[in-house]
Amino acid sequence: MQSYADIDGDSGVHRFEINDTSITVWFTGTQKPYTYSYLSAGQHHVEHMKRLALAGDGLNSYINKNVKFKYVR
């Protein structure tokens, strides 16, 4: 698990964990992790989210616009 850099200081993402076919995100102020997998959100979205997470910018916005409710339930 890694802390999210949040370069602009405006993200709701606190931490994340990258796996081969998924990314798990912890949002600020919540204890529940949200896992977005190839199956639930699509490979393209998950891979893009991984890149944003490592860059420390844009992840929260991307989730809200593209995969908000496509997490593993």
The per-residue pLDDT for 8 is 87
pTM of model > 0.75: yes
**Predicted confidence (pLDDT) per residue in 1-60, tens digit:** 999 999 988 899 999 999 999 999 999 999 999 999 999 999 999 999 999 999 999 999
Among 53, 51, 44, 56, smallest CA distance to 67 is for 44
The per-residue pLDDT for 21 is 98
Secondary structure class of 58 (helix, strand, coil): coil
- The answer to whether the CB of 54 falls within 8 A of the CB of 40 is no
